[in-house]
Structure 1
Amino acid sequence: MTTAISAEEQRLRRELAAVYRLVAHFRMTDLIFTHISLRLPGPEHHFLINPYGLLFEEITASSLVKIDIDGNPVDATPHRVNPAGFVIHSAVHKARSDAQCVLHTHTPAGCAVAAQRDGLLPVNQISMEFHNRVAYHDYEGVALNLDEQQRLVKDLGDQPVMILRNHGLLTVGTSAAQAFLRMYYLDKACQIQVSAQASGAALVLPDPAVCDLAARQLNGEATDSDYPDDDAYDLAWSALLRLVDRIAPDYRE
């Protein structure tokens, strides 16, 4: 039996479907693998996630599957769900009330930085947003072991992003939009780092105090600065929605 969809759930379905299409558009997918999960409001602890087997560019609001905290479908659905893919996500959702959305990728640049001992370096202004705000979790094999959840959550702490060593990237957000924007810039920071390293030239890293200042500025924490604009990310998200409406309007279906 399928329960009625509220207006709020429909809004969230469309927002999450838009994020799936954006991840596909910006080439951050790994075929049908990796996941983006979004918590639904209410005491039931229900979530939306991609149907297993669909490419991200095929996902629509109605095809998203509603699951419980164990990754099992709540309603009747013609789509398969990969419960194992929710192991990482469920751990983060349980531990962090602010983790409304959890986004995980296997991008080439993200995986390359995840294989580096020093992780993300402050090589560019874009990476400064994450200075001292990146968690790291050592690789323990394919994430199928429930015992790993406790260690992963401990390593994540209260950070907004995590580099899963020898694996990939993970971001959390109070909305699907925030999780996407964090992933977009985290992956771009990794791309810049890999490109800079590939040149073979010695890297110039700013003074740690400058990195700290830039991080506070970029995260709206500097008392002597109003950067970024309060509505900058809202403006960026609105622009991204216009992009999706142009290139993949069926995401709303």
Structure 2
Amino acid sequence: MELKIGDTAYPSLKGKVSDDEWEIRVQTAALFRLIPLMGWDDLSMQLISARVGEHYLVGPNGLLFEEVTASSLVKITVDERLVSETPFGVVPCSWYPMRAMHEARPDANFVIHTHDDIIAAVACNSQGLLPISQSAAFALADGIGYHAYEGVETHPECAVGLQASLGWHNNALLLRNHGLITIGYFAKHAFLRHYNIRKACRIQMMATSTKGGELIQFGPPLLKMFKAELQRVANGEGTSDPWDGLVRKLVKLDPSFMD
């Protein structure tokens, strides 16, 4: 079956790739659609990538995030060579920061990088993310690193610094003066980390914009408790998982992401 985005025709890959790859494609396409739906988009300049076996899926060059479909995702090798024929290219040099995350951690199957204004505003503050809200406490307990701005991260030599900043215990990177990267074993992990950190940054921006009293920060005992809460969630206890509901919402709005 032939599909079309604008004037560009491309084949449907459903039934032509393995069931595992197709599921990863659908989950990745869902991430692309959720970013603008949540208001985190920066035209087409944010990035999402996913590991599929020995290869990787990246967004097609020239498409808005709300146009991306499972079949239009471009499969590349680690050194950015196309794996299969596609009418779409990839954004030159944008692969380097994503490759750095995938190579740094075996659990980084999905990577999201945005330039969201609220997150970038907190990343510009020397104090970074403050432990003043429940969302921030969860983000800090989950592991969030900081990476000093070194210019546009679209050069291969930037990988070493990004990987060092991520380390083995962080699942997110606040890029100073820039934005945010989150990683996840599953698509929902990267997305929910992004959502939570963005909410924490928004609360911080609202709190620091008010005149008056000193901000109330959580102390070490409370922050330690949040690590235990994250373990409960990992064990299937605690809060419910909204991911399936988000995918159902996308289906109701526009199911074409699954094409």
**1:65–1:73 CA contact under 8 A, matched in 2:** yes
Deviation of 1:79 after TM superposition, in Å, equals 1.0
Choose which of 192, 209, 222 in structure 2 pairs with 1:198: 209
User: Do structure 1's residue 243 and structure 2's residue 254 form an aligned pair?
Assistant: no
Matches within 5 A, 1:164-243: 164-201=175-212, 202-217=214-229, 219-220=230-231, 226=232, 230=236, 235-243=241-249
Q: Which moved more, 1:231-240 or 1:185-194?
A: 231-240
Among 111, 114, 119, which residue is 2:123 paired with?
114
Report deviation, 1:38: 0.2
Q: Distance in 2 between matches of 1:71 and 1:57?
A: 24
Instruction: Give 3-state SS (helix, strand or coil) of 2:140's partner.
Output: coil
Q: Which residue of 1 aligns with 2:136?
A: 127
Q: Residue 148 of structure 1: CA displacement?
A: 1.5
Residue 151 of structure 2 aligns to a residue in which SS?
coil
Task: Note if contact 1:70-1:83 (Cα within 8 Å) is conserved in structure 2.
Answer: no
Output the amino acid matched with 1:237. W
Alignment of 1:42-57 (within 5 A): 45-57=54-66
Instruction: Please name the residue that 1:148 is paired with.
Output: 158
Once the 2 structures are TM-superposed, how far is the Cα of residue 83 of structure 1 from its aligned partner?
A: 3.4
Asked if the contact 2:184–2:190 (Cα under 8 Å) also holds between the matched residues in 1, the reply is yes
Contact 2:55 2:78 in 1 (8 A): yes
1:33 paired to 2:42: no
Check whether the contact 1:100–1:174 (CA below 8 A) recurs between aligned residues: yes
Q: How many aligned residue pairs are there? A: 243
TM-score by length of 2: 0.88
Shift of 1:232: 6.1
**Residue 65 of structure 1 aligns with which residue?**
74
Counterpart of 1:205, as a letter, is Q
User: Post-superposition shift, 1:229?
Assistant: 6.8
In the aligned structure 1, how far is the partner of 2:79 from the partner of 2:150? 21
Q: Which residue of 2 aligns with 1:223?
A: none
User: In 2, Cα distance between the equivalents of 1:233 and 1:81?
Assistant: 37
Provide closer, same or farther for how the CA distance between residues 35 and 123 of structure 1 changes in structure 2, counting only shifts above 3 A: same
- The 5 Å alignment of 1:92-111 reads 92-111=101-120
Shift of 1:130: 1.6
| SS of equivalent to 2:182 | strand
Displacement of 1:208: 2.2
Note the residue ranges of structure 1 that are not aligned, 5 or more in a row: 221-225
1:52/1:81 contact within 8 Å kept: yes
Distance in 2 (alpha carbons) for counterparts of 1:75 and 1:36: 19
Change beyond 3 A, Cα 1:91–1:15: same
Equivalent-residue separation in structure 2 for 1:19 and 1:232 (angstroms): 24
Contact 1:127-1:186 within 8 A present in 2 as well: yes
Between the two proteins, what is the percent identity of the paired residues?
36
CA displacement at 1:188 relative to structure 2:
1.1
Residue 233 of structure 2 contacts residue 239 of structure 2 at CA under 8 Å; is this kept in 1?
Answer: no
SS at match of 1:73: coil
Counterpart of 1:39 in 2: which secondary structure? strand
Offset of 1:107 from its aligned partner? 0.4
Provide the secondary structure at the position in 2 that maps to 1:53: coil
Contact 1:65 1:77 in 2 (8 A): yes
Q: CA deviation at 1:73?
A: 1.9
Partner SS for 1:16: helix
**Is the CA contact (8 Å cut-off) linking 1:72 and 1:81 kept in structure 2?**
no
Is there any run of 5+ residues in structure 2 with no aligned partner, and where? 1-10
CA–CA separation in structure 1 for the residues paired with 2:106 and 2:240: 22
Over the residues paired in the alignment, what is the CA RMSD in angstroms? 1.8
CA offsets per residue over residues 163-196 of structure 1, 9 Å max, x none? 0111100100001121111111111111111111
2:154 counterpart SS class: coil
